[in-house]
């Protein structure tokens, strides 16, 4: 996914909604995001979202929407 594709998806979301990260489909957890950085890796720009603290198990509604 590119930054432009992410922005395109996010523009339809509630602007005040909290952003979280879903991980591990077979044992799904959710994390907050504590930072965003852009670095050059092998001459390509890459944006990284920094995993914050684990908030708990991913809610069933999110798992269903993700198709997990």
Mean pLDDT across the stretch 56-66?
Answer: 96
Across the beta sheet with 44-57, the strand order is: 20-23, 29-41, 44-57
- Determine the Cα–Cα distance for residues 20 and 58; give it in Å rounded to an integer: 10
Identify whether the C-beta of residue 62 lies closer than 8 Å to the C-beta of residue 56. Answer: no
Q: Looking at residue 24, what is its pLDDT?
A: 94
Domain ranges of the chain: 15-66
C-alpha distances out from residue 23 to 10, 20, 58, 66, Å: 19, 10, 8, 11
Give the model confidence (pLDDT) of 2-53 as tens digits. 999 999 999 999 999 999 999 999 999 999 999 999 999 999 999 999 999 9
pLDDT bracket for residue 66 (50, 70, 90):
very high
37 phi, psi to nearest 5 deg: -135, 150
């Amino acid at each position: 996914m590119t930054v432009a594709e992410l922005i395109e998806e996010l523009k339809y979301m509630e602007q005040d909604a909290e952003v979280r990260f879903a991980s591990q489909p077979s044992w799904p957890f959710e994390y907050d995001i504590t930072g965003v950085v852009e670095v050059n890796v092998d001459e390509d720009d890459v944006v990284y979202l920094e995993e914050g603290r684990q908030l708990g198990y991913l809610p069933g509604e999110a798992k269903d929407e993700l198709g997990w």
